[in-house]
Structure 1
Amino acid sequence: MTAIVPETARRGPATRARRGARWLPLFLLALVLLAVLSVVVGSRAIDPAVVWQAIVAPDLADDRHVTVQALRLPRTALVVVVGAALGVAGAVMQAMTRNPLAEPGLLGVNAGAAAAVVTGVLVTRVVDVEVYLWFAFAGAALAAAAVYALGGALQHASNPVRLVLAGAALSVVLGAYTSAVLVNFPSVFDTFRFWDTGSFQGRGGDALVPVGIAVGVGLLIAFSLARPLNALALGAEFGRALGASPRRTWLLAGVAVVLLAGGATAAAGPIGFIGLTAPLIGRAIVGPDYSRLLPFSALVAAIVLLAADILGRVVVLPSELQASIVTAVIGGPVFIALVRRRRVPTL
């Protein structure tokens, strides 16, 4: 007997796909416009014609050209990379835990990065962000690996609840360690707070290359998992029936989250709300299909973070407001509005 499927149910995925196709050019245009604005505005505004000249025919004798080439272009690229990484990491984390309110920090990435940074600064006395970036990335990776081991993912298919509990427990322990070091060694705090504020100030090309490589590999892994994530969204048993291996998928998803969230956190420090709200917005536009949701989450997150970074540069001139503060101010009300309108979609 042939099952009768309601017409509205048949139209649902196609409608979401058409809606995503309509929104995609607008989102891409917004990203391009914000990227241009990011290079133009700052503590010192630079005329767009000068920016174009600095790109196509740079004159190192002109300090405006040097500002564009050495500071604003690398910073803009880094913001886009970090935003895309956080958006995709959040979507993958929500798929892993089957919880639309999950975010990358649940794997202990932020806590592990912070603990490694304070340890590196304490031991080596390093003050250069391009150096302790490596401490942050190593700490994020080790913390996520420990969460996977504690969650039993190395012996059998990971249990989302067990992973979340392991991540929460490890985050508390590492947070206590970080606080103890900062309280007892004030000199470490002076360096650590520059990274912990979640800012792109002073980050440039030296950070862009290693972070870009890590994020690029993480994005490739995440995008390759779109079909298995769709299958496992129906449950482990249905996923196996559709040919997806829960253990392999969760392990690869964990690697992707470590590369994406670890690289982003190492470069810019802890930035909240991006990994949480970008997948929610993307899911509301294109639906739960991860082949569309993952790239849309990357696009939305890059736009939001770039807008936050630009806003932070101009609201308190000549000083600068950290991007993490602006994203909290922007993301908090958006998240509350989604919850109050009951538009947080289920997975």
Structure 2
Amino acid sequence: MSQSVMSSTPVAPESALSDDDVAAVDRLGKVHHRLREELGRVIVGQRDTIDLLLVCLFARRHALLMGVPGLAKTLLVSKLAETMSLKFSRIQFTPDLMPMDITGTDILQDNGEGRREFEFAHGPVFANIILADEINRAPPKTQAAMLEAMQEQRITVVGKGFDLPSPFMVLATQNPVEQEGTYPLPEAQLDRFMALIELDYPSEEEEIAIARTTTGSKLPSLEHLMTGDDIIAHQDLVRRIPVPEHIYIEAAQLVRKTRPAGGTAPEWLLPLVSWGAGPRAVQDLILGAKARAALEGSYMVRSEDVRYVALPVLTHRIITTFAAQAEGLSASDIIGRLLSEEN
């Protein structure tokens, strides 16, 4: 009964942006262009990667970076933090890494009055942008400590709670080549990442440019284009970007097509997918589309914004079957086909 009442209740259209918000979107669009140019001084190519990282940042979400070693993931993330005047921290995950190595712990200190007291020593998680390098190399208990910080933006150590700085973003990497001795993230934990951003090998021209850029004098310092307060203000702005009703429907229908159960998926998908994306995927599609629209200087979410973020948002949320693997089909192939059918 409650469902029928909800479905019959008219939905009020989202209001248009105020004049101040319109001006803020214009500023963000210009800063976005300058960020591309500034990062391009040290990062060759990877334009889509940069854009998706910015989408996740302004949507207040986290991202999973997937790529073979040597694709400048650490350099990209550290330089992104530099252009935004944010504190950057890199955590190398290893099999012997403990939760306290991430969060910090109480240590015994001399208080200067002849007595010793416990004092909390902050761990590397107390930064604005965290690179969790090879997160699948740490045991599940340590992974859980990192994921709790991502979800709550707060940690608990020896019964005491500590708030993490804002803005706060975690970029975790996984090595897709060597899986020996690793602890793959469960699907429920992968779902906490807004996007899976896959980095591919550069083109020949880009590879030559990389060699030319990185084998000479030291890399240039980048201009600081934003501050932490600017980012927080624009994160709030992204939440206010209007979304037409048909965009909500489009996002929900796309996610529902990935689920083999329930009669919402196309016939060809049923033997290829064992588990589809959950409701959090719809939320991330809308938030990602809002952030992308704002970065592009648009005052309203468009269908192309949803389509732009669909592949990175959905790929890691779909579990393929042995039949799909036997045919050489990946989750991204399936999402690509679903998107092509939308045209």
- TM-score under structure 1 length normalisation: 0.26
